[in-house]
Structure 1
């Protein structure tokens, strides 16, 4: 998720439970940060920006960090900064994917490094609307779907999680509760029935959905919502907690089973931007393998992906922070090679990661990830991207992705519209239906795709 240029950010996920000392590369400060600012021995707290400070080695004079955007709260105004991540290479052998949607099947699939939707193989464009499943007005959902479909966009990524630790009393939508030490999946009218309508409307409008199951960040609960229930205190522990993973898989089964026969599902996504700060590199990789296998055991016809940001070394990289072997335990190339992962995701926020120049660095990031996906014969999905000079920079990135063999689709962050309650959240990257930025990122991009 992403950063806001105008809204004060909350503390990053995993910092809700303050520690006496912060581990290497952990968050140690920033606006609204409530945890400790004391770093482990050999590290000091370095301010990256007003929203994020990080524990870096004493020998380092500066460090690039990530304060990537975050989803907005139920009032559609909250944002969360994110810490940077980098990871390591592996020498695993690429394996074949296991989605079994047959030729002529209504289910989206892939062919080599391209996607196939409704029997048509090629490049696709889409967007993100994390909030659509939390709307309570069906007409608003239909309006969004109608506008997206009429624009030529085909893929919509939505939040399939909404976890709470206290059950709201005002009818607020939530999908899973961890109140009073019990985990309860809400299948009622203010629960998964709201997601039901999103899927129903997507089916009616020909839109394909990416639905994820948990958030790395604290927005809408995230992994942190499991902490008290599972007796843990960090995201790093969440990946290895039997109790947390058992309930996470129960939630996955509850969601997947509802839509297992729906042609509107483009893919199931393990998490939004999974990271494992301070973990051994094998931790997140093992979780990717186990979770994707579990989903495939329930539903072999829909694709599965990770939802990661693309961190880790890639041949030809410049060794800037997103490529380094440090921090958050995620390895894009290793995860991409997992046989039960059908396509690979990466996100792009150079300004949040403090790498420059924004346009050129981002262009190279797209090219290198596309090449890495080509090497394993899977499509890359540029799943989120944003920059302050939205039209000029982001449209250039779209053009690069469109021509870079290996990237099969792109989804800009984020879609905006005017609903019955007013305009949806503007987090600094929102393109509202019908405005000038929307024409730049959608109308012009669809024309370029159609001209291929």
Structure 2
């Protein structure tokens, strides 16, 4: 995602404050709960509070599942090693039955083979799926996704904190220079366990990533708080990378035999401001090679947005190396990355909506040249079908693009009869623009 906040790419807040339109509270949220000046933290539903224009900044009232703001324990200290422990209790599993998987998803030329079928697929993003505390909610959401014709769902495989929250709040990893913890308990990775088991029961495949470039749910900033440096030096910080790999090992080892995993993803939208392109390239090559050593059966991808010079591009901001601090096509050629990803947010990048077709077609051509399939992994443009339907059609008709996944999926949760977060791009199941964004698109894919 470009961030939970629609404008977080363009606006930053003071320390301990959420930026304009950023998330500031809700069930299982563990980030800042106050807003920058001129914005008030407003509840849209129990799962999502947002900083919207206002004259006050009230703090959300915590529930038994809502944590207070994350507090940091270090801002500059760096170390070369960490101590990792785990917090563990009994694992639960889904009793729902569904389609039987025929093996691990894999590439097949410029497309993917999923359960023995090679074709273009439709998917979506559900960052919050692993943070739900009700098994029934997870099953309900995945049942609706399967009924819609989705095949691949991208979920956050991270939830990092620098202060351990109250019991009942989901967190996956506590980061500290004095000793980090990976939470494998009831409100830790067992929540992700249930997501994986429910996905398997409903015939869905998951893209699971390991860290966020943005501060939502900890992200690289949580590592910086623990091990020092900054967001750019994180990629070469020995202590941070050691703990990052320990976390990867903890997650991969749990699901390396599961056919419900579509692919492992290094990060959500990695960027390295002011860096030479070799920094992210070397990090991606090292990390993907490490994951392959742990699990040779599943695919690995990077999760980057697609920035950098590209044949056929127009030289605009997204086609410049400085946009992400890397060259996307160079990363695409890393042998231990099985496919490429690209995201599309013209509003955030200062481009007209019609520009999106060029972005998709030039990346598709690069994927053909690399002989790897690519996924339009995130896209959003005003939550408007007249804007996004042409992108879907272009992606479906572009050789090298093997699937698309809009940002983001929304549903009504049975446990609270409430809707999941609306960040301006959310498409809710069987509501509003669902037919033109999902039903018609899936039909077009099936017809092709």
Deviations 1:265-305 (A, max 9, x none): 00000000000011111000000000000000000100000
Question: Taking structure 1 as reference, are residues 429 and 110 closer, same or farther at Cα in structure 2, changes over 3 Å only?
Answer: same
Is 1:2 the counterpart of 2:11? The answer is no
Is 1:147 the counterpart of 2:144? The answer is yes
Structure 2 residue aligned with 1:371: 365
Structure 2 residue aligned with 1:413: 407
Whole-angstrom distance in 2 between the partners of 1:12 and 1:268? 30
Structure 1 residue aligned with 2:184: 187
In the TM superposition, 1:13-412 aligns within 5 A as 31=20, 75-78=47-50, 106-179=103-176, 181-232=178-229, 234-356=230-352, 358=353, 360-388=354-382, 390-412=384-406
Whether the 8 Å contact between 1:129 and 1:156 is mirrored in structure 2 is yes
Q: CA deviation at 1:124?
A: 0.3
Q: CA deviation at 1:166?
A: 0.6
Question: Taking structure 1 as reference, are residues 312 and 196 closer, same or farther at Cα in structure 2, changes over 3 Å only?
Answer: same
Whether the 8 Å contact between 2:383 and 2:427 is mirrored in structure 1 is no
Whether the 8 Å contact between 1:128 and 1:158 is mirrored in structure 2 is yes
Deviations 1:159-181 (A, max 9, x none): 00000011011410000002573
Moved more, 389-398 or 332-341: 389-398
Q: CA deviation at 1:30?
A: 7.2
Q: CA deviation at 1:229?
A: 2.2
- SS state at 1:382 partner: strand
Whether the 8 Å contact between 2:375 and 2:404 is mirrored in structure 1 is yes
The count of aligned residue pairs is 378
Structure 1 residue aligned with 2:77: none
Whether the 8 Å contact between 1:12 and 1:217 is mirrored in structure 2 is no
Whole-angstrom distance in 2 between the partners of 1:325 and 1:180? 33
Structure 1 residue aligned with 2:428: 432
Whole-angstrom distance in 2 between the partners of 1:128 and 1:79? 22
Whole-angstrom distance in 1 between the partners of 2:374 and 2:122? 13
Question: Taking structure 1 as reference, are residues 32 and 120 closer, same or farther at Cα in structure 2, changes over 3 Å only?
Answer: closer
Whole-angstrom distance in 2 between the partners of 1:242 and 1:446? 45
Whole-angstrom distance in 1 between the partners of 2:346 and 2:12? 20
Question: Taking structure 1 as reference, are residues 8 and 139 closer, same or farther at Cα in structure 2, changes over 3 Å only?
Answer: same
Structure 2 residue aligned with 1:22: none
Whole-angstrom distance in 2 between the partners of 1:367 and 1:169? 48
Structure 2 residue aligned with 1:448: 444
Question: How high is the TM-score relative to the length of structure 1?
Answer: 0.79
- Consecutive unaligned residues in structure 1, runs of 5 or more: 19-28, 34-50, 52-71, 81-103
Whether the 8 Å contact between 2:232 and 2:272 is mirrored in structure 1 is yes
Q: CA deviation at 1:228?
A: 3.0
Whole-angstrom distance in 2 between the partners of 1:145 and 1:73? 20
Give the ranges of 4+ consecutive aligned residues of structure 1 lying more than 6 Å apart after TM superposition. Answer: 10-15
Q: CA deviation at 1:231?
A: 2.6
- SS state at 1:436 partner: coil
Question: Taking structure 1 as reference, are residues 119 and 173 closer, same or farther at Cα in structure 2, changes over 3 Å only?
Answer: same
Q: What is the RMSD of the two structures over their aligned residues, measured on CA atoms?
A: 2.6
Whole-angstrom distance in 2 between the partners of 1:10 and 1:273? 11
Question: Taking structure 1 as reference, are residues 127 and 354 closer, same or farther at Cα in structure 2, changes over 3 Å only?
Answer: same
Question: Taking structure 1 as reference, are residues 403 and 355 closer, same or farther at Cα in structure 2, changes over 3 Å only?
Answer: same
Whether the 8 Å contact between 2:410 and 2:426 is mirrored in structure 1 is yes
Question: Taking structure 1 as reference, are residues 437 and 322 closer, same or farther at Cα in structure 2, changes over 3 Å only?
Answer: same
Q: CA deviation at 1:31?
A: 4.6
Higher relative contact order (CA 8 A, sep 6+): 1
Question: How high is the TM-score relative to the length of structure 2?
Answer: 0.80
- SS state at 1:77 partner: strand
Whole-angstrom distance in 2 between the partners of 1:9 and 1:376? 32
Whole-angstrom distance in 2 between the partners of 1:287 and 1:180? 21
Q: CA deviation at 1:331?
A: 1.3
Whether the 8 Å contact between 2:410 and 2:429 is mirrored in structure 1 is yes
Deviations 1:148-199 (A, max 9, x none): 0011100000000000011011410000002573210000000000000000
Question: Taking structure 1 as reference, are residues 345 and 14 closer, same or farther at Cα in structure 2, changes over 3 Å only?
Answer: farther
